[in-house]
A = this chain, B = another copy of it.
């Protein structure tokens, strides 16, 4: 039985250091004696003093150091709590088959927050995806988002949808908000129903313990992870309309990563004031240029979801014109946050030793460029070659060639291709290159879990696009051959 380093106690008791704690809150909650305790938590809003330095944390992805695009913003602390108007909690309900990590996260907006989402295109979509799509179709605001790891609640039929509804009902009651204010995400094994006997009591604990702190944001980012080796979280501050606007995000994902959507789960909180229509457009385009441009293994998940909240607490004049400078800057910032998180997912791809970034230019339009870039980072053969430090660039050219659908007349005699600083092809002709040096480039980037850059130009068109993936190693197979048994 795995133990979580979590302390269960009355409000305002002192935090206890990780090493001294041996109690498994999830297990306790599941026992009759603990159940009554949870009821007390709900009744009295009893606080649980989580030790967020302990089992609620994972090492972090280098989003702020390496993966966040540059722009007119400053990196700040706080993750999804950086924006004003949001409180979060992470908790271990005991949903995972094994492991000591928290498995539930709750994000609560103090008041109605403008909300937009994009979701997996998999027709076999999970119950929480169907639930969220229905909620957001009916109402452009939300108050709370509950995320669980452990079970994906996908391919669970009508019973799975009933579980989602029961979860939302319980959360609505615990928070005292309307049922249509609730959003849900799940991640974990497909085809397994959520352990409702563990989740329902946890909802009360989460609801009673949300807070606006970096520690809570990190705990939430940890709780939603599955095979992730690092948590993905970032926050930035940007001047918009003369006010400081804050934006924080978290994401999870490591395998079953492919457009569209390409994350498993992503959440961004923001305190800008923005109309639902403008926010919806910004969210959609930011997702297109980030989470929809990453792949780990070509598998589009059943549960992929990105939800972006805007609380309006920053005090800026409400952005209602999609073409205004404020809207453009807000989109630029949201795209950066999403890209930082999306790249972190690819960087943390199952078994990966490097991030692969493919930059395509010269395409007929941006969408063509994105399609070609995705094709390259998805190629199993290119990925295996990079893992093996093999500058087998023919596989990169090949993958560019089978990108589909590409609207323009791809002419192989226009192809230009570089691997890091090494140009390997020009005008469709192979160039002589130093194979030892090119191999060393791959050794260097994989040695530090860095970024392998592939630049491809396919013609003279204005279209540009980027995509991110990772190399394919023995560990990918190992992780996925042994996932449920």
A contacts, CB < 8 Å to B: 120-125, 152, 154-159, 189-193, 255-256, 258, 297-302, 378-381, 384-385, 387-395, 397-404, 406, 410, 412-413, 415, 424-425, 427-430, 435, 439, 472-474, 476-485
Contact = CB atoms under 8 A, between A and B. Distances in A.
A128 to B, nearest CB: 14
Nearest to A442: B485
A44 to B, nearest CB: 39
Given A395-B299, A397-B190, A123 B429 contact: no
A398 B428 contact: no
Nearest to A417: B155
B125 A395 contact: no
A395 B303 CA distance: 12
Contacts of A412: 123-125, 155
Given A122-B401, A189-B394, 6 more contacts: A156-B430, A158-B413, A190-B395, A299-B379, A385-B480, A477-B477
Contacts of A123: 401-403, 406, 410, 412
A481 B384 contact: yes
A399 B407 CA distance: 26
Contacts of A381: 255-256, 297, 299, 480
Contact of A402 (B124, B156, B390): B124
A120 B159 CA distance: 45
Given A381-B299, A401-B122, A394 B154 contact: yes
A395 to B, nearest CB: 7
Given A297-B380, A380-B380, A412-B123, A482 B429 contact: no
B388 A124 contact: no
A181 B477 CA distance: 47
A250 to B, nearest CB: 23
Contact of A398 (B124, B159, B413, B482): B124
A388 B122 contact: no
18 contacts: A120-B402, A123-B402, A124-B400, A124-B410, A155-B397, A155-B398, A155-B430, A156-B429, A157-B413, A158-B428, A190-B395, A190-B397, A190-B398, A193-B430, A256-B398, A298-B298, A385-B483, A435-B485
User: Chain copies in the assembly?
Assistant: 2
A162 B373 CA distance: 30
A392 to B, nearest CB: 5
Given A155-B397, A299-B398, A398-B190, A477 B480 contact: no
A124 B401 contact: yes
A203 B478 CA distance: 46
Contacts of A428: 155, 157-158
Nearest to A439: B485
A351 B117 CA distance: 40
B481 A401 contact: no
A456 to B, nearest CB: 11
A472 B478 CA distance: 10
Given A123-B402, A389-B485, A398-B190, A384 B476 contact: yes
Determine which residue in A256, A394, A410, A476 has the highest number of CB atoms from chain B within 10 A of its CB, and name it. A394
Contacts of A472: 477, 480
A429 B163 CA distance: 14
A256 B396 CA distance: 12
Determine which residue in A121, A385, A388, A435 has the highest number of CB atoms from chain B within 10 A of its CB, and name it. A388
B155 A481 contact: no
Nearest to A395: B190
A390 B404 CA distance: 32
